[in-house]
Structure 1
Amino acid sequence: MSPENLVALVALAAGTLFTPGPNNAMLATSGANFGFRRTLPHMLGVAIGFPAMVLIVGLVLGGIFQSNAILRESLRWGGALLLLWIAWKIAISGGVALAGTSAGPMGFPAAAAFQWINPKAWAMAVAATSQFVTGSAPVLAALIVTLTFLGGGLMSSATWVLAGQAIARFLTSPSRHRIFNLSMAGLIVLSVAQLLWH
């Protein structure tokens, strides 16, 4: 991979990983409700699960996903519906119900598996692999893309959890907590609308 392409890849990773989206809204919500230590499995599930998906898409599934419109649209709409359900659960809970219960944050397996039905994750994985996993060494290129998203994902996930934890200091009343959860749910709904619009 040329130095120019590597710079472009890092810029793409930073632009997609640090901007608001479903994963980041859920991480901030979990950080606010449960703190950094309890959110660590969720954070690692996102930070490791997405690069693993990028590697698999880059080596195997990219062409199938791009050429099969029914599969692509099914995943897009199914993922959008799941995200809307998660937004609803966050909006109506006093805490957060990311794993189907308000008792605790999402765990590593659920967060890693969530990447496979997250429309933003699919869009990012296909875009990154189709642009950068080319040339005479596709396996090496796929590994470089994967490692770039792994490093960026760890930094991004930690940043969003810490931001949520910092916000938690202001969530001193049930009404403030409710407003925060409604805001995070709204952010997820807006990201779904943006994904479906494009």
Structure 2
Amino acid sequence: MSLETLLALIGFAFVMSISPGPGNFLLLASGANFGFQRSIPLVLGISFGFLSMVFAVGLGLGAVLETYPTAGQILRAACTVYVLWLAWKIARSRSLGSGSGAGLEKPFTFLQAASLQLLNPKAWTVALIVTVSYLEPEAGVPDLLLLIAVFAAVTIPSISVWALSGHGVRGFLARGNRIAIFNIVMAVLLLASMLPAILSVAH
């Protein structure tokens, strides 16, 4: 990989990682409800899930999805159901990580976060773009692993900013019913970020 390609990849990884999306809205909500430290499994799970997708697409999964479009429809349908459930859980939360029996009772686990990425249309789109744009057709597994390592080095600190931002406003949100309003807004933003996938399933 040339220096020019490497710099372009770093820039692309940063923009894609830091921009709003389902995973980042969940990180913001998790940071606000549970703090940064308890949100680390979510950070690592989101990163692992996405990088696993890049690896799978780089090995040829992207071509399989193009050949069998029904698989993509099933993926979008599963994504819609899962995100609607997550949005409902977030919207029902009324206190900071209280485990009150309603809404977000505990932080997202590593496996939950990784599975979310597997159902995330934005993540699939980025995985397809990055493998097509930054891997030569004759590239082998070592080149793919290098690309994944670069993306990981950029993605993990970038998405951590969202969890840290949520953590930073915990004190403000602890007063009155602010956390309830915040969680409702987060649920709406999560649904809005998935709107293309939801509309695709509806039609």
Structure-1-length-normalised TM-score: 0.88
- Name the CA distance, whole Å, in 1 between partners of 2:198 and 2:67: 19
TM-score by length of 2: 0.86
Give ranges in structure 1 of 5+ residues lacking alignment: none
- 2:21 corresponds in structure 1 to 21
CA shift, 1:145, in A, is 2.2
What is the distance in 2 between the residues matched to 1:169 and 1:152?
29
Residue 53 of structure 1 is matched in structure 2 by 53
Q: Which residue of 1 aligns with 2:149?
A: 147
Distance 1:145 1:197 in 2: 32
Q: Is the 8 A contact 1:84 1:192 kept in 2?
A: no
Does residue 162 of the first structure (1) align with residue 176 of the second (2)?
A: no
SS in 2 for 1:94: coil
Distance in 2 (CA, whole Å) between partners of 1:9 and 1:197 is 31
Structure 2: 5+ residue stretches without partners: none
TM-fit CA distance, 1:26:
0.6
Instruction: Please name the residue that 1:5 is paired with.
Output: 5
Is the 2:27–2:163 Cα contact (8 Å) retained in structure 1? yes
Superimposed CA distance per residue, residues 155-196 of structure 1 (whole angstroms, 9 cap, x where no aligned partner): 123211100001212102242111110111111111111455
Aligned twin of 2:74: 74
Match of 2:132 in 1: 130
User: What is the CA–CA distance in structure 1 between the aligned matches of 2:3 and 2:66, rounded to whole Å?
Assistant: 27
Could you list the per-position Cα deviations for residues 84-123 of structure 1 after superposition, in whole angstroms to 9, with x for gaps in the alignment? 22112211222579xx963310111221222111222111
Aligned pair count reads 196
Moved more, 148-157 or 26-35: 148-157
Please give the alpha-carbon distance, in whole angstroms, between the structure 2 residues aligned to 1:78 and 1:173: 36
Structure 2 Cα separation of the partners of residues 169 and 83 of structure 1: 27
Match of 1:30? 30
Do the aligned partners of 1:120 and 1:195 also contact (CA within 8 Å) in 2?
no
* Rounded Cα–Cα distance in structure 1 between residues aligned with 2:112 and 2:36: 17
- CA contact 1:28–1:164 (8 Å) conserved in 2: yes
Encode CA deviations 1:16-58: one digit per residue, 9 max, x unaligned.
1101111111111111111111111111111222112211221
Q: Give, as a single letter, the amino acid of the residue that structure 1 aligns with 2:111.
A: P
CA distance in 1, matches of 2:112, 2:199: 27
Matched, 1:62 2:62: yes
- Following the alignment from structure 2 to structure 1, what is the Cα–Cα distance between the partners of residues 81 and 56? 24
Partners of 1:187 and 1:101 lie apart in 2 by 16
Give the CA RMSD over aligned residues.
2.2
Give me the whole-angstrom Cα distance separating, in 1, the residues matched to 2:58 and 2:72.
Answer: 16
Q: Distance in 1 between matches of 2:125 and 2:198?
A: 11
Larger deviation, residues 163-172 vs 52-61: 52-61
For 2:198 and 2:12, the matched residues in 1 are separated by 20
Helix, strand or coil for the counterpart of 1:31? Answer: helix
SS at match of 1:170: helix
Name the CA distance, whole Å, in 1 between partners of 2:198 and 2:13.
21
